Structure 1
Amino acid sequence: MEIKKVTIIGLGALGILFGNHLAKRMPKDDLRIIADEKRIQKYKNEHVYCNGEKCDFHYVTPDETCEPADLLIFTVKYEGLHEAIQAVKNHVDENTIILSALNGITSETIIGRTFGRDRVLFSVAQGMDAVKVGNKLTYDHMGMLVFGDQKSGIMSESVKCVAAFFEKMDFPYQVDTKMDKRLWGKFMLNVGVNQTVAVFNSNYGEIQREGEARETMIAAMREVIALSEYEGIHLTEADLNYWLSVLATLSPDGKPSMAQDVEARRYSEVELFAGTVLELGENYHISTPVNKKLYDTIKSIESSY
């Protein structure tokens, strides 16, 4: 199968980043951005910008009938996932391949319950330093999408198909045949960097240099390493160092989504990060004091909204 029709749901940082790249390389009608009528009107009136450039997107509402997507990409926040699953139903048939760029380790399973696990590839968005303020996105590094099959050690036709499409689109990507470990590695990074930068009210530069913030971040990540053993993932210090090397490539002035949420006084994905760590720690009787402190601090910040 050749991918021709692509649908993206979620016009946050990643939705704009991916959509802007693809929109320059595809026929306009072949790339659909799903949004409700109110959001579409806002996008059309105020426009959406990527690195100062106005994006030219083709918007569709969830109710519009259309050809199913060959590739469907979820770029919503976790709290909007269930609504998004309902919104994309006109875009999914038996041939649709689904990628989820959401943070955390559960979105693929949730999407798979509705559309079938065999249609959903594991994927991780990494290496981007995009910052979205209002309707404007800026970034220095686009990063890449890493994806692969849910079962380790194989490369399905769906994976090959997406790789061929991204190659044609000059879209940065990598195929990984051990995506369960990659998902947990990205989760470990998010647990550390997202929460620490938010709590320290800082940016990537703060945790790229030695100091209390970096120590806090690494300690939070090591709690995920301990939990991964009980989940059969077996993260190691080598994995931690790999993700620290990814972090080192980002613009020091950039900041992760949770820090942007806290600055904008929006509720964050703390339940997805520290909340998950605390729940797993309780299940396995493992102490997770660093994540408990981060969780309590962020919840305290949010209680003042």
Structure 2
Amino acid sequence: MKIAIIGAGAMGSLYGGLLAEGGQEVLLVDVWQEHVDTINQWGLSMEGVNGHRTIKNIKATTNPSYAEAMDLVIVFVKSTITHIAVSQHKKLCDNNTTVLTLQNGLGNIEKIMETIDKKNIIAGTTAQGCTLLAPGKINHAGVGDTYIGELDGTTSPRIKEIHKAFTAGGLKTNISNNVLGLIWGKLLVNVGINALTAITNLRNGQLVEFEETEELLELAVEEALAVAMARGIELPYGDPVAHTKKICRATALNKSSMLQDLLNKRKTEIAMINGAVVTEGEKLGVKTPVNKVLTNLITVLEKNQ
């Protein structure tokens, strides 16, 4: 299978590397020239849970205009630039190309639909953990399941083919008939963790060590749950608040991606996480004051960098 990955940061590089190891023809697309050059010259260096090795049967580029249409395009850029990234690289797609988003937050499917026909789009979530250590070097920090699915919940031949390719690369993958529920399920966890850790400079586990942050986590997640219920979303777990606290404890030492973004003076994905809850709530008549406060505070911190 010919696969392009738009956004070869930590997660994009991880999936690209593992898929290449599994025998797929992989092209990483990223704006970081040094990262791209290192991979092309020396290969992708991967260390972590599955040992240290260098993956050499992989290509990278900052300009894929020469490339032919792919069988599969995986979008791993920040949600804030989804539309720009996909539209700039639409030559990677033709009528037979499947585009998969494994990004965080809400709205990515709709942004991809501005360029790609809805019938060519599938979605999913990932619980893999990875960090980018240096140009051409990543640390596979944690193994987790990948879920992929058609937007209409069917089990199509292409989903089965992609599942096979992912599994061949060592990615434990499940086909879901409720992928939108999974996306919302992951969103609620991010709603409870990301903004609070970024504002307080706390690690994930510390959120449940202080009664004040634990209460705010509960309120933010409960608001998001009310919005999800109003949308008719079927979540993949029973108690979102308990589930989010469980994730806090399981990833206790982690610095959330939003906290890392602020520390590195990068734009966050607040608009697609807590901000998306606020936006959806306004559409549905569901009040979300805590998420509004968290969104505004993160926005001010971004502006003040």
| TM-score range relative to shorter protein | 0.7 to 0.9
Q: TM-score under structure 2 normalisation?
A: 0.85
Work out whether residues 208 and 214 of structure 1, in 8 Å CA contact, stay in contact via their aligned partners in 2.
yes
* Partner SS state of residue 4, structure 2: strand
Show the counterpart of 1:23: 20
Q: Map 1:1-305; keep pairs closer than 5 Å.
A: 4-26=1-23, 30-36=25-31, 39-44=32-37, 50-51=46-47, 56=56, 57-125=58-126, 127-132=127-132, 135=135, 137-152=138-153, 154-207=154-207, 209=209, 211-235=211-235, 238-240=238-240, 243-244=243-244, 247=247, 250-305=250-305
Matched position secondary structure for 1:140? strand
For 2:12, the aligned partner's letter is: G
Report if aligned partners of 2:12, 2:76 keep a CA contact under 8 Å in 1. Answer: yes
In 2, distance between residues paired with 1:297 and 1:287? 18
Are the equivalent residues in 2 in contact too, given 1:40–1:59 (CA < 8 A)? no
Q: TM-score, normalised by structure 1?
A: 0.85
Distance in 2 separating the partners of 1:211 and 1:49: 42
Cα displacement (A) at 1:241: 5.6
Higher mean alpha-carbon deviation, 171-180 vs 251-260, is at 251-260
Q: Is the CA contact 1:62–1:90 (under 8 Å) kept in the aligned structure 2? A: no
1:8 & 1:15 partners in 2: Cα distance? 6
Q: CA deviation at 1:299?
A: 2.0
**Structure 1 residues 51 and 151, CA, compared in 2 at 3 Å: closer, same or farther?**
same
3-state SS in 1 of match to 2:296: helix
CA distance in 2, matches of 1:242, 1:157: 36
Structure 1: which 5+ runs fail to align? Answer: none
Identical-residue share of aligned pairs (%): 25
| Residues 140 and 251, structure 1, Cα contact 8 Å, conserved in 2 | no
Give 3-state SS (helix, strand or coil) of 2:73's partner: strand
Distance in 1, matches of 2:129 and 2:140, equals: 6
Mark the CA change 1:41 to 1:131 in structure 2 (over 3 Å): closer, same or farther. closer
Q: For residue 228 of structure 2, what is the amino acid of its counterpart?
A: S
State the 1:124 CA deviation.
1.4
Over the aligned positions, Cα root-mean-square deviation in angstroms equals 2.7
Letter in 2 for 1:196: L
Secondary structure at 2:19's aligned position in 1?
helix
Could you tell me how far apart the structure 2 residues matched to 1:223 and 1:91 are? 39
Partner secondary structure for residue 103 of structure 1: coil
What SS does the aligned partner of 2:104 have? coil
Q: Which moves more between the two structures, 82-91 or 189-198?
A: 82-91
Spell out, residue by residue over 1:147-195, the C-alpha distance to the aligned partner (whole angstroms, 9 max, x if none).
Answer: 111113x211121111121222221211111112111111111111111
Structure 1 residues 76-98: Cα deviation after superposition (integer angstroms, max 9, x where no partner): 00122122112322221222221
Q: Distance in 2 between matches of 1:229 and 1:109?
A: 20
Alpha-carbon contact 2:13-2:138 (below 8 Å) kept = yes
Give the paired residue count. 296
Cα 1:175–1:60 change in 2 (3 A) is: same
